[in-house]
Amino acid sequence: MEIKEFQKEVDAWIKTIGVRYFDELTNTAILMEEVGEVARIMARRYGEQSEKESDKQKDLGDELADVLFVLTCIANQTGVDLEEAIARNFEKKNIRDKERHKNNDKLK
């Protein structure tokens, strides 16, 4: 699925099933909650914290999708075309980081 299509599908879902967008500040808080759920899985499953039995059933892919969904809601309601933003971001990274990581001894 193309990113533009995903943005349209999220918008359609919000306007039909979700009724309306939460305001931007509420969606930002929800995004932080969702990122926290991803962080919890990462810290316990891949980090040094022990994983509780209740955490073992959590689906990392589902939690990442929740982050993407809420992030897309914020993009939609603030008029950000994510495809354009991502293209510009890659362009910036390709200029700024062209040699940066190759020259990083920590990555060798």
Q: What is the pTM of this model?
A: 0.89
Looking at residue 35, its pLDDT comes to 98
Distance CA 4, CA 39 (A): 27
The token duo for 41 is 């899985």
Looking at residue 103, its pLDDT comes to 83
Looking at residue 48, its pLDDT comes to 94
The CATH number of 3-78 is which of 2.40.160.40, 3.30.540.10, 2.60.40.640, 1.10.287.1080?
1.10.287.1080
Distance CA 18, CA 21 (A): 7
* Mean pLDDT by groups of 10 residues along the chain of 108 residues: 97 97 98 98 94 91 98 98 97 87 84
Distance CA 37, CA 66 (A): 10
Q: Work out the angle at residue 62's Cα, subtended by the Cα atoms of residues 76 and 50, and round it to the nearest 5 degrees.
A: 130
Looking at residue 97, its pLDDT comes to 84
Looking at residue 105, its pLDDT comes to 84
Distance CA 98, CA 92 (A): 10
